[in-house]
Structures are given as C-alpha cells and as structure tokens.
C-alpha cells in the first residue's frame, strides 16, 4: 500500500490559552487532494503553518514524506510547495524575477520560470512589476510560485479566495493537474463548491477539531438527506412539496403527485457539504 505523504497524529497548537488545533489526525496520499473545509478561525491555516514549519507543533506528531515536522530540514522544505492565503510576493520585482529568485532558493539552476508563468496565463506580463498586477494575477503568481520546485506535497491555503469565477476555475484546473502529477495536496477552503469539486476527501474542521473526514459522496450519504422537490399548480399560484426519499410511504406519495394533472416539475435534491457542516457543527461556513 502507498505510504501517506502527510501523516498527522494528535496534532495540537495553542495561541496562549486558546487551543487553535485540537488533537487532529489525518493522512494525505500522493496524488490525493484533501480539502480542509471550515469557517474562518476554525484552525485550517494554523494546521498548514504547523505542517510547513512556520509554527512549532505543541502537541502530537506529524510526518511529511517521512520527515518529522519541526526539524527545519532543508531536505524536506525542498519537496514542499506552499501557497499562502496572504499575497506575500515581492511587489517591486517582476513576476519572472519572483519565480527565478524562489527557484534559486530551491537550488534550481535553469528554472523554466517563463513556462511556469505561461501555465497560469501570466507569460505576457512576465517582466511587469507585481505591484501593477490585479488580485487575480497575484494569486496566479502565488500558485505558480508554489509549483516552481515541482513539489511532492502542496499546501494551498484558500487558493481561490476572493477571485472571479473565471480565474478561480483556471486555478482549480491547475491544482487538479498537480494532483494528477502525483502531488499530495492539502487544500484549505471555506468554499463548499471548491471543496466538493476538487477534493478526493473532505475534512470538516471546526474550532480546531476535525468533526468529519470522508469523501464528499460518503459524507452526503452518511449525513445528508435526499429528497424530491415537486412543484404543482394550485389555482393561480404554484406550491412546492418536499418528499424525503426515506421509504415509509414517501414512494406512494411521490407516485400520487406524479400522476396529478397539476404537476409542473419534479427535482431530486442532494444535501450540500455546507448543509452537512451546519448539521454537524451548528454553524455555517461563512462565519
């Protein structure tokens, strides 16, 4: 069986008296995208900071590619890529200079930075200063920087946050390509659609704890309620009826409505990740 690229056991972190990450366990395998879904302040970014060496773990243990975290080992750092939530680029440098510089820190002699920029649609702005870039362009450059060393493990912290739908779609496509290449990806987001679209598995994190971890499909099957929404003419109005698909007479009722001359439409309804998150935690993803 393939060894996990990221292996986390009982990881904890405190900011003073506040425990931001509470004894969490998870694994991410090569080629897999694990979506960390949770609202702001849930502990997603702190987990990434601990795993990437920005914060020292205060409890538990974690291994990345067999290296124990917290040892500040350049050999490990050479194999990871990080896309921060904050756009921490060198604004006075051009896009090309940014990539060339970071490539040099990885010891990459002839980094094909221009090709990397082409991949995220920035080749024509390669020599422009980053200070002149829009938010979306900066985010694409952040993604490109995270990929410059062809990492085996990628940490992507809210990679499409605040982007327009077109740019977000392009970035998601690039992330999928990296996973297809074999990179293990830990992706944090509070966007349920992104988590659903990108992730092979989803972890719900709330107040520092992982409350559920499974494929999106299994989570929906386990926690969601399937139902059918039927719209019927009611005089001059339209009325809706929701019929849960849970047996217990629902089939008979559905058959009766389907035969009704007032029937307008029938739609199946699937639980969303957000509705499951709310059900499990009692709070929404936006908060």
Nearest CB to another protein, comparing residues 94 and 191: 94
On the 0-12 / 13-18 / 19+ scale of CB atoms within 10 A, 214 is: middle
Closest CA to 101 of 113, 86, 116, 92: 113
Residues making up the chain, counted from first to last: 287
For the bound state, the minimum distance from the C-beta of residue 267 to another protein, rounded and expressed in Å, comes to 46
In angstroms, give the least distance from the CB of 133 to another protein. Answer: 15
Cβ at position 78, least distance to another protein in Å: 5
Token reading at 268: 């199946």
Which lies closer to another protein via its Cβ, residue 77 or residue 160?
A: 77
State the minimum distance, in angstroms, from the CB of residue 21 to another protein.
18
Least Cβ distance, residue 277 to another protein (angstroms): 29
Q: Taking Cα atoms as reference points, which of 182, 220, 218 lies closest to residue 33?
A: 182
Residues 136-195 that bind another protein (CB under 8 A): 145, 149
Question: Can you tell me the distance from the alpha carbon of 276 to that of 40, in angstroms, rounded to the nearest whole number?
Answer: 17
Q: Is the dihedral of CA 54, 80, 86, 24 positive or negative?
A: negative
The smaller minimum CB distance to another protein, of residues 96 and 273, is found at 96
Our CA dihedral for 145, 190, 194, 61, rounded to 10 degrees, sits at: 60
Size of the site for another protein (CB under 8 A): 28
Map residues 104-133 to x or -, x wherever contact with another protein holds by CB under 8 A: xxxx--------------------------
The footprint of another protein on residues 84-103 (CB under 8 A) is: 84, 86, 88-93, 97, 101-102
Residues 58-77, mask of contacts with another protein (x by CB under 8 A): --------------x-xx-x
Enter the DSSP assignment of 132: G
Q: Tokens standing for 238?
A: 């339209």
**3-state SS class at 274:** helix
Closest contact distance (angstroms) between CB of 209 and another protein is 25
Q: Which is nearer to another protein, 156 or 273 (CB)?
A: 156
User: Which one of 64, 69, 82, 185 is in contact with another protein (CB under 8 A)?
Assistant: 82
List Cβ neighbours of 155 (8 Å cut-off, separation of 6 or more).
48, 51, 52, 80, 81, 82, 83, 146, 185, 186
Q: Which is nearer to another protein, 141 or 195 (CB)?
A: 141
Of 84 and 277, which CB lies nearer to another protein in the complex structure?
A: 84
What secondary structure does DSSP assign to 93-129, as a single string? SBHHHHHHHHHHHTT-TT--HHHHHHHTT-GGGTTSB
**Shortest Cβ distance from residue 77 to another protein (Å)?**
5
> Given the complex with another protein, which of 144 and 227 has the nearer CB atom?
144
- Our finding on whether 16 is near another protein (CB under 8 A) is no
Report the residue number, 137 or 148, with the smaller CB distance to another protein: 148
**Which strands, in side-by-side order, build the sheet including 201-206?**
80-83, 153-157, 184-189, 33-37, 201-206, 209-214
Where along the sequence are the contacts to another protein (CB under 8 A)? 52-54, 56, 72, 74-75, 77-78, 80, 82, 84, 86, 88-93, 97, 101-102, 104-107, 145, 149
């Amino acid at each position: 069986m393939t060894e996990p690229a990221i292996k986390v056991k009982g990881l904890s972190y405190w900011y003073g008296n506040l425990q931001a990450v509470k004894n969490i366990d998870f694994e991410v395998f090569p080629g897999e995208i694990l979506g960390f879904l949770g609202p702001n302040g849930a502990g997603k970014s702190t987990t990434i900071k601990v795993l990437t060496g920005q914060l020292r773990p205060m409890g538990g243990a974690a291994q990345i590619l067999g290296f124990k975290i917290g040892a500040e080992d350049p050999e490990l750092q050479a194999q990871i890529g990080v896309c921060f939530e904050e756009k921490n680029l060198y604004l006075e440098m051009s896009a090309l200079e940014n990539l060339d510089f970071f490539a040099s820190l990885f010891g990459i002699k002839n980094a094909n930075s221009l090709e990397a920029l082409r991949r995220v649609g920035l080749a024509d702005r390669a020599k422009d200063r980053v200070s002149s870039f829009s938010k979306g362009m900066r985010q694409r450059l952040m993604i490109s920087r995270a990929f410059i060393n062809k990492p085996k493990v990628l940490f992507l912290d809210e990679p499409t946050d605040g982007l327009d739908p077109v740019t977000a779609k392009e970035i998601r496509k690039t992330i999928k390509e990296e996973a297809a290449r074999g990179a293990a990806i830990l992706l944090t987001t509070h966007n349920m659609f992104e988590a659903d679209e990108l992730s092979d598995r989803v972890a719900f994190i709330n107040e520092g704890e992982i409350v559920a971890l499974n494929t999106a499909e299994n989570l929906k099957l386990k926690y969601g309620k399937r139902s059918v929404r039927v719209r019927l003419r009611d005089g001059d109005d339209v009325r809706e009826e929701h019929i849960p698909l849970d047996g217990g007479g629902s089939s008979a009722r559905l058959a009766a409505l389907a035969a009704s001359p007032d029937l307008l439409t029938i739609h199946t309804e699937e639980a969303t990740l957000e509705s499951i998150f709310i059900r499990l935690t009692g709070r929404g993803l936006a908060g």
